[in-house]
Amino acid sequence: MKPAPIILLVTAFLLGAALPYGQSLLNGLGAGSGFYGYKTDVPVPALPGAEVPDAGINVVFFGYRSCGTVCPLQLFNLKALHGHWSEHPVQFVFVTLDPENDSQPELNRMMAALGENFRAVRPEDFRQAQALADAYGDFAARQGGGKEINHGARLYVVTADNRRQLLYATPELDIQRVNDDIARLVGIEQS
């Protein structure tokens, strides 16, 4: 085996082993912000058809419908968050990384099943999806020419001025702490 594949294999193993600790590690990097998520303040492109509500936020996730690994976990997290925020100006936006296989009607049905405040964004093609993910600080790469897409499985919290304010790096989240972060961003007192 050549050195480059060995390095990639070791790196993938180490990243996989660190995944459960990813949010805690990021919390340490953003220490002092008082947020559970990693605090950022980065401009991001608006998402056509899923504009951030006035005085509200979007929670954005890049994934694809046939993903069998992290996407179902993050969608479960988003559904749990939606249950708490369905009466507030908080939208949950799923951006497909596989627009060639995820039709807009299929995405709309999936979003409707998840909840009223879910929106789907379907870029024109994979390259545009990749560029959009990159602009948010995520990544997307087709694996070996197949249907599998490697991606970050991160959640991004975006405010009405199209600025990414928080990043959650793993699907293993403390939902109550994420709710606390959202309440703080939208200025709602939690009970």
182-191 LR contacts (CB < 8 Å, sep 24+): 182/57, 182/59, 182/81, 182/85, 182/90, 182/157, 184/34, 184/35, 185/57, 185/157, 185/159, 186/55, 186/56, 186/57, 186/88, 186/89, 186/90, 187/55, 188/88
What's the confidence (pLDDT) of residue 190?
Answer: 63
> pLDDT tens track of the chain, all 191 residues?
556 556 655 555 455 544 444 444 444 444 567 999 999 999 999 999 999 999 899 999 999 999 988 999 999 999 999 999 999 999 999 999 999 999 999 999 999 999 999 999 999 999 999 999 999 999 999 987 777 899 998 999 999 999 999 999 999 999 999 999 999 998 877 65
What's the confidence (pLDDT) of residue 163?
Answer: 97
How is the chain split into domains, by residue range? 3-186
What's the confidence (pLDDT) of residue 162?
Answer: 96
Query: Quick one: which of 63, 43, 37 has its CA closest to 118?
Result: 63
Q: Which fold has domain 3-186?
A: Glutaredoxin (3.40.30)
Q: Which residue matches tokens 């996407």?
A: 71
